[in-house]
Amino acid sequence: MPLKPILLSALASLASASPLLYSRTTNETFVFTNANGLNFTQMNTTLPNVTIFATGGTIAGSDSSSTATTGYTSGAVGVLSLIDAVPSMLDVANVAGVQVANVGSEDITSDILISMSKKLNRVVCEDPTMAGAVITHGTDTLEETAFFLDATVNCGKPIVIVGAMRPSTAISADGPFNLLEAVTVAASTSARDRGAMVVMNDRIASAYYVTKTNANTMDTFKAMEMGYLGEMISNTPFFFYPPVKPTGKVAFDITNVTEIPRVDILFSYEDMHNDTLYNAISSGAQGIVIAGAGAGGVTTSFNEAIEDVINRLEIPVVQSMRTVNGEVPLSDVSSDTATHIASGYLNPQKSRILLGLLLSQGKNITEIADVFALGTDA
């Protein structure tokens, strides 16, 4: 038998053993490296194994003032420092840290997402000794990364995305406890088969639905109409119902995907100018998402431009909403003269991720419309 399967088999058997194999050491000295090169500072065989993929953001932010909740530097703290700041985490799981990036979430790119998804599939999904994973992330675009991972990592193991609204140097910083709760959920067998989840502020939410609803407050991540999957009580996850697949969710295999085609989002407003649409396409956009007024609405003139782009240039256009919640049903945007695409319950940023993934699979307008239609009710 090849060496790697032997190692994985041995580690899988150790995972159910009772004695302490390796104890926690200090000064960031790694005491165990697994077959995938993940470094653990503790290997207690009575605990599950969780990997933290760190990307930066407010949870790793820093400022000279303990009262600063704006104007701080994002991504100033590395993953090992995050882990060391929450020693209680090691009572929950054996944790390995991987520094994927260390930036504000506005600088997360599709290249980072593709790389992270492939690594999650390889070092977490394919490793029987790994219980799940946590991704630390800035909150501004956290829901986009969460939606991407929900679509592209589908092995059933908990993939938990977590952030913070206060930097690590602030009084009552929320990051440490959020991280502890995220690791706890990732380590929990009851969290399996629920897709990617966002865990913050004692709440467990589906990555498919959750969105940031407030620019500043700690209770910002919500799924207004759909609700939460569960909550954390004394660092114990309580799920309200068994695992269920969100209506319209589609899984993607991006093993052979090297890039995501460019998709632009255009915001609808009174007296909207058509040249914004054509300029986006001439600049390289292969798909367009409209953050429409109400249920996907645009001006009459802009709607004519959309139909020109669809019919003449064969560019898919998805009509979403600029409101925080609601649905864009196909009946509100459909036409007899062009294949309009309704976003259903997906907001513009999630519609952009889904459209980009579909384009990366070579789907045409009709096929793309069929996928989006799975998430609409009319």
Catalytic residues: 58, 139
Reference 375, options 347, 356, 349; nearest CA is 347
Are the beta carbons of 52 and 34 closer than 8 angstroms? no
- Crossing angle for the helix pair 110-120 and 142-152, nearest 10 degrees? 40
Tell me the two tokens of residue 267: 């915001």
β-strands 341-342, 317-321 pairing: parallel
84 CB contacts (<8 Å, ≥6 apart)?
A: 28
Task: Measure Cα distances from 138 to 57, 104, 132, 168 in Å.
Answer: 4, 6, 20, 12
Alpha-carbon distance of 325 to 313, in angstroms, equals 31
Query: Has 336 been labeled as part of a binding site?
Result: no
Query: Has 88 been labeled as part of a binding site?
Result: no
Tell me the two tokens of residue 142: 């956290």
Query: Has 139 been labeled as part of a binding site?
Result: yes
In 128-158, which positions are buried (b, 16+ CB within 10 angstroms) versus exposed (e)? Answer: ebbbbbbbbbbbbbbbbbbbbbbbbbbeebb
Tell me the two tokens of residue 299: 């001006």
Alpha-carbon distance of 98 to 80, in angstroms, equals 9
Tell me the two tokens of residue 225: 């109409």
Reference 121, options 251, 290, 261; nearest CA is 251
Q: What are the phi and psi torsion angles at 133 (to 5°)?
A: -145, 155
| Pairs from 275-278 (Cβ < 8 Å, separation ≥ 24) | 277/302, 277/305, 277/306, 277/309, 278/305, 278/309
Reference 229, options 268, 186, 266, 197; nearest CA is 197
Binding site members for substrate: 105, 139-140
Binding site members: 105, 139-140
